[in-house]
Each structure stands twice: as structure tokens, then as C-alpha cells.
Amino acid sequence: MTNQVTSPGSGRLLSLIRAMEGAPVLVIGDVMLDRFIYGSVDRISPESPVPVLNIKREDTMLGGAGNALSSLAGLKADCRFISLAGDDAEGVQLKACVEALGITADDLIIDENRPTTVKTRFLAGHQQLLRADFEKKQALPALLEQQVIAAIEKRMEGVKAVLVSDYGKGLLTRPVLQAVMSAAKAKDIPVIVDPKGFDYTIYAGASAVTPNKKELAEATGGMAVDSDSDVMAAASSLMNKAGISCVFATRSQDGISVVRQGREADTLHLRAKPLEVFDVSGAGDVVIATITAAMAAGGSFEEAGVLANFAGGIAVSKVGTTPIRADELVEAITHEGDKGLAGSGIICAEDQWEQALEHIRRWRARGLKVGFTNGCFDILHAGHTGYLAQARSSCDRLIVGLNTDASVRTLKGPERPVHDESARATVLAALSSVDMVVLFGGAEGDKDQTAIKLLQALQPDLYMKGGDYTPEQIPETPTVRSYGGDVKVLSLFEGHSTTGSIQKMRA
């Protein structure tokens, strides 16, 4: 079918992204912790024919409704959050994760009769071996149900859009959903639902739902969802049956279809952006977060769909349930997907270590070995380039930790650096041997100018340092070995130094 709706231009989309900042959004749904445990398999257990995973590191992040919340925070929306957790250590950790986003956890309601939902994935290299779920699915007791409804009525004030994330864990009972729809309707606030199950009548009154192909087929009694016309017909049937205004049908490699009730002829079929797929975990949460933020910013259904299509392409290029960020959307729209999200020449400032970690996760998902070295690299000379080429030969991807200007002054004196950190990072990133440059360093006068904190954050597989000493003499070695990394001492190229270059210029 030929689209009857014109897709918004990039100027309008970029304006919407800017308008998302500070847009008030209410998120209500099932939250959980996602754990990723990484290691290697070198042998089979003698007890039974199963692989033995030698664990090296662990990542923990918000999942479920928490993943949507993280993406909304990344899009700089002003979030309010209502959810449920257990009275346990995982619940405390979950609350800390919410607050780390700068979002209050006052409405994270504690249910003493259920554990906090935790999903743990065990990976060897880039291969997932097992997922273990720790949860208890049960409907809310009446007392907690009233507490949730009271929180909804309180937090709805001043909101511009509501995101409902249903993972079927028991929070979103029919009375709770009715309370959401009623409170939102009274204030003319759009409600966007990530649905669960076959009966969508429980979401009656919602502005939109975001089923994938499988969910759309199941919710319509097995209707076909293969072609554009199939999806449009199934979505139309669902809207008429359930009393919903719009369907954002997410169709994997076929993109997203935006179907509006009574305007099926204007259906917008948005094709997926051609990005490399690493992991589809959490992509649906990224899509609904982007739709909700766009509508809170005053966007139309079609504009929200276009932005969500870009966001979905970015989400599947990441590893794990990693949220979207506003600058990634801007980058994707500006370059229309022509520029890859990973590759050489990446520069990350001191406040972008999390972005650096996302690139590292993508590299590891491809089975690549990540190496790291660090230094001031003030005036780049042949000794530097030879050393970096040597370091790159020991790994598949090389990260250079670059001391900030303040750090260099502390180490080298007030007349250094000769070139500022931006210039030094740009020159390093242009080298074929360098895949990423990450700035680090203590404040001026700080005694600790080592790369220990950065290594703790990025956890590269191999740490390299040039010199004539042993690994045990390097202050970063205990940190690297604590998470299972290796340390390697490389030879320096004699006769070259920045100090020597400066002395020659002065002479």
C-alpha cells in the first residue's frame, strides 16, 4: 500500500528531540533487574555434560519497565515512576538504579509477599548459555492495589504522556489499568501501552499500543501479519475490538507500521534502518519510550513512529537492555543511518564513560578482544605511533585512555600540555591503530592520576603499559586482575620523547 501520509522532515524531528527535554512523563509498569554474567568456557563439568562457566564480570541494570524508564531518562524527559519491588536486597539495588537516573523512587511500592523480579543471563563470549528467572507472578492484594491507584491519581498532575509497561507480573490489574485510563482521560493525556497477553480490552481507552508481529497475531485470533495490508487489517480489527486509537506494530526487519482508527488508508509503513543487529533485548522498551517522549513533546502519532523507528534501529545495534540517548537519535537522523554506530576514531569525554562501555559491549558481542593503554600523548611522535601499533597488534580493538589537561598539568607542570585535550584526542583518534579515545584524570592537584577508575568502569580484556618494569610494579595491575583481565608490558621506542621535542623547539 502506498502511504498517504508524508513522513516528517529531519528539521521537525530534531525539534521534537529538543522538546523532549523536561517533558513530564509518567511510567507505570513491571520493573525488574537484568543481570548479565560474562565468562569463558574451557571445559565440560565432570558431574554432568554441561559447560563450566568461568565467571569474569557481571553487569546489572534496570529491565522491563525500568528499561523504558532508562530510555526516557536518556531522552531527558522528566520522569515519574510507579512500580513494585520485593522487600529484599535486590529491591534495594533496584531502587538505587532508579535513583541513579535522577528519578525519585518514592512510588516504588514494596510487596513483602513477593521477591524482586530478576532475570540473569549467563554468557560465554558472545554466546548466551542460559537465562535464569527469579520471580513470583501474582495479582496485587487489595491494599496494595489501592496504594498504586492513589499514586497514579497523585502523579498524573502536570503529566503530558503516560507509558504503561505490562510484563504480566501482577502490578497492572484491571482496576489499576482502569484508574490509569480514567485519570488520563480526565486530563486529556495520551496513554501508550506495551501490552501483554491476548485480551487487549483491558487497555480500552488507551491512545496507542505497541505489539510486535507475534503479539498482534495472537491478540486478533491468529490473523495474518506478513504483509503491509495484513498488518493494517489486523491492527484495524484490534482497535475496533479493544477501543484503542492507534497501533504501532513493530515488525522486526520490516520496521514499524502506524495504524490509526478510522484512518487506515493513511497507514504509515516505516522501513527498518539498515544497522548491524547485535541484540534485540529491550528494543521494544526503547521504541515505546521514544513514542511516549515524542508525544509528551507535542508530536503526532506519525512523528512518534518515525522517531521510534530510528530508536529501534539503534537499540538492536547494542548489547543487552541498553537505553537510547537523545544524542544517538540526533546522530542517526542527521546521518540517516549512513554512519555506523561503532568503529575507529571514537572519542568519549570524561562524562561519557557509559557510552564508551556500550561500544565495548558491541565489540565483545562479536568476540573481539579489547585492549587498553593510557598516557598524555602531548606532542605525538614516532615513539608514540610505534608503541600504539605494537599495542594494537595484541588485541582486536584498542582503547587509549588520555589524560585531561588538568591531569597533565599535575603530572608534567604548569607549562604542559602543549596541545589541549581536544586536539590530542582528535590526532590520536585519526590513527589506524586506535579505535577509541577516552579522557580521564583527577582534578588539578589530585594525587591519583592513574587509570584505575577508568579501568574499573570499562574492564578491558588486556591492559598494556610501556616500560622496563614488571606488571607487579604497575599501580593499575591489581584492578585489572580483580575482574579477570590480563596485564602486558610493552617495549618503548628509545630516542623519542615529548620533553625532548620541546627542548629541540626551544633550542
The model's pLDDT over 71-127, given as tens digits with 9 standing for 90+, comes to 999 999 999 999 999 999 999 999 999 999 999 999 999 999 999 999 999 988 768
Strands (DSSP E) contained in 303-454 are 346-348, 370-375, 397-403, 436-440
Range with the poorest average pLDDT among 31-40, 186-195, 376-385, 390-399: 376-385
468 given a catalytic annotation: no
**CA–CA distance, 231 with 225 (Å, rounded to integer):** 5
Query: Phi and psi at residue 118, in whole multiples of 5°?
Result: -130, 130
Residue 501 has pLDDT above 70, yes or no: no
Residue 243 has pLDDT above 70, yes or no: yes
pLDDT tens-digit map of 359-372: 888 787 667 889 99
Share of the chain above pLDDT 70, in %: 89
Q: Domains in the chain, ordered, with CATH?
A: 10-335 (3.40.1190.20), 346-506 (3.40.50.620)
Residue 37 has pLDDT above 80, yes or no: yes
pLDDT average, residue stretch 300-323: 78
For residue 61 the three cell numbers come to 541494570
Task: Specify whether the CB–CB gap between 296 and 77 falls below 8 A.
Answer: yes
Query: What pLDDT sits at residue 494?
Result: 60
**CA–CA distance, 94 with 60 (Å, rounded to integer):** 9
Point out the catalytic residue in the list 107, 111, 194, 285: 285
Query: Phi and psi at residue 474, in whole multiples of 5°?
Result: -90, 125
Residue 319 has pLDDT above 90, yes or no: no
Query: What pLDDT sits at residue 367?
Result: 72
Q: What is the pTM of this model?
A: 0.71
Cα angle 454, 459, 461 (rounded to 5 degrees) comes to: 130
pLDDT tens-digit map of 115-173: 999 999 998 876 889 999 999 998 888 999 999 999 999 999 999 999 999 999 999 99
**CA–CA distance, 73 with 66 (Å, rounded to integer):** 10
Query: What pLDDT sits at residue 5?
Result: 47
